[in-house]
A and B are shown apart, each in its own frame.
Chain A
Amino acid sequence: MAKITFITQDDETITLEADSGSVMELATENNIKGIDGDCGGVCSCATCHVHVEPSFFDKVGEASEIEKDMLELDDNVTEYSRLVCQIEISQELDGVVLHVAK
């Protein structure tokens, strides 16, 4: 089981556990505010944008080309931006902290 912590725009901290699926599925299943996942996880809507807490960025890894393209003109993009529909849950992710982007 990997523990994943979300910090929402309202500064709510929610820690969830899972061992498979995408981080977006985990977040929408648990109604994490600000992660909508409108397109269902096919990297078409950019409504599951987070900023990975920098100290965990190596664990989570770089955004793929399509994620970078989708976020390129987003006002809130940072070097730690990811779309969580593109992050598969594994033990590797245990402990990561994700800040839900605006």
Chain B
Amino acid sequence: MTEESTKNQVCVIIGASHAGVNCAFALRKEGWAGEITLLDADPALPYHRPPLSKAYLSGDDEIEKHRLKGADSYQKEEITLHLGVRATAINRSDKTVILHDGRVLSYHKLVLATGAGPLIPSIPGIDTAPNLYPLRTLADTNDIREALQRSSPKRVVIIGGGYIGLETAASLKKLGATVTVLEMEERVLARVTAPEMSEFFQDLHAERGVQVLTNKAVTAIQSEKGTTTVVCADESRYEADLVVIGCGIRVNTELAEQAGLQIENGIRVDATARTSDDDIYAIGDCTFHHNPHYDRFIRLESVQNAVDQAKVAAAAICGKETTYDSIPWFWSDQYDVKLQMVGLSTGYDQTVVRKEESENTKFSVWYFKGDTLLAVDAVNNAKAYVLGTKFIKDDKKIDRAKLGDPSVDFKPGNLLA
């Protein structure tokens, strides 16, 4: 597709977070000469989401510091932003998007970057509890910050010991809160990491004075006279001035579903991020897509996937040959600990833990299936993270004995089998 041929065309992007914003800018870079309309229900100028549970929550930063792009950048690239606007329906036969205020937008190409929303578990009392918030949007984080400021005992209960729950715990602790994390599984981060990592983070939080409790299934939330009590299956009770829900997400597939697009654990897309409709693409957290390296269909909640799929979709929309082929990567910052992760550990049968000499808070967990390195979790160890990335990308076979021996210098050549 030439620039000339896109000149009178319109691309509408629903969702202006990491995926949607990156797609809009990538479209211009790939030569899309027509209109680009980017819309989101969130009224705030698009911002980075990861700091919402980290630096933005615990610090005094203005959100301007965490914007994805400056306001002028949208103007310069002629990207029309509609914020505070919700799409309520897609009409595929006449290629239109219906907005909540009744407006109708026509499109030639449509990109769904609808993301995900917080999963609110159905616990009796959860709907009526005051000062109870999920953490997904800027407004959520502002609500949490304000609720904490209003409260003097600052007792916080966080339901869920995943990344959001643990990061929030670290950030609120820094703000002077008394924090309890209630995790339903027998260890934190059970869904995403090996037991060694769970243990490390459990200990880290304990050292910093955060109470992390496992095997705690919340069965009720009682609110009386301004006090909220979180009740667990084992009859333990935790009083809270603020409750944060970190129980994972539900994918925003309603629009796509209602439009009759193929849904399978998310919006099903091909290697170019295209849905079952040739003129509709989907990118980011909302997609169920094939990962060539791991050769299976996956759904990912990550900035990396949002940005990479955004670029693939933009190139494909502009008629360029492209396919999605990324190794997933993630990060988490808690207190002064930096966790960097690469690859997908699902299905691993062995781990190698490498602890660097002289420093006990610098280590990495390497996940293998047979001879194949699947993933690496690196704690305060960017070197392990980049080495792991390279080994996974190049499908290198590793000498596990050397890898686990911290006296062997951490260089690619030293570790190959």
Is A bound to B? yes
Check A73/B386 contact, CB under 8 A, given A31-B73, A40-B50, A40-B51: yes
B72 on interface, CB distance cutoff 8 Å: yes
Dominant SS among interface residues on chain A: loop
Could you mark each residue 47-87 of chain B with 1 if its beta carbon is under 8 Å from any beta carbon of chain A, else 0?
01011001100000000011111101100110000000000
A69 and B389 alpha carbons, distance in the complex (Å): 12
User: What are 19 contact pairs spanning A and B, CB under 8 A?
Assistant: A21-B65, A29-B73, A31-B70, A33-B29, A39-B331, A40-B48, A40-B66, A42-B333, A43-B338, A66-B338, A66-B382, A69-B385, A70-B382, A70-B385, A70-B386, A72-B386, A73-B389, A73-B390, A73-B412
What residue in chain A is nearest B412 (Cβ atoms)? A73
Q: A25-B65, A31-B69, A38-B307 are in contact. Are A69 and B386 (CB under 8 A)?
A: yes
Q: Is A30 an interface residue (CB 8 A)?
A: yes
* Contact digits for A49-89, partner B, Cβ 8 Å, 1 yes 0 no: 00000000000000000100110110000000000000000
Chain B residues near A21: list those with CB within 8 A. Answer: 65
Give residues in A with beta carbon < 8 Å to B: 21, 25, 28-31, 33, 36, 38-40, 42-45, 66, 69-70, 72-73
Q: Which of A30, A66, A69, A73 contacts B72 (CB 8 A)?
A: A30
Contact residues of B: prevailing secondary structure: helix
Please give me the residue from chain B that is nearest to A47 by CB atom.
B307
B: contact size bracket: 35 or more
Q: In whole angstroms, how far apart are the Cα atoms of A29 and B54 in the complex? A: 21
B51: which A residues are within 8 A, CB to CB?
40
If A42-B333, A69-B386 touch, does A29 touch B70 (CB 8 Å cutoff)? yes
Residue B304 is within 8 A (CB to CB) of chain A in the complex: yes
A10 to B77, CA, bound (A): 17
* Known contacts A31-B76, A31-B77, A69-B382, A39 near B70 by CB under 8 Å: no
Chain B residues proximal to chain A, CB less than 8 Å: 18, 25, 29, 48, 50-51, 54-55, 65-70, 72-73, 76-77, 303-304, 307, 329, 331, 333, 338, 340, 381-383, 385-387, 389-390, 412
Structural contact, A28 and B69, CB atoms closer than 8 A = yes
**Chain A residues within 8 Å of B18, by CB:** 38
Looking at the assembled complex, report how far the CB atom of B246 sits from the nearest CB atom of chain A, in whole angstroms. Answer: 19
**Nearest residue, chain B, Cβ from A74:** B386
A66 vs B337: C-alpha distance when bound (angstroms): 13
Q: Which residue of A lies closest to B68 (CB)?
A: A28
How far is A55 from B202 in the complex, measured between Cα atoms in Å? 48
Q: Chain A residues with Cβ under 8 A from B68's Cβ?
A: 28
Instruction: Tell me the smallest distance from the CB of B378 to a CB of chain A, in Å.
Output: 10
A residues less than 8 Å from B69 (CB atoms): 28-29, 31
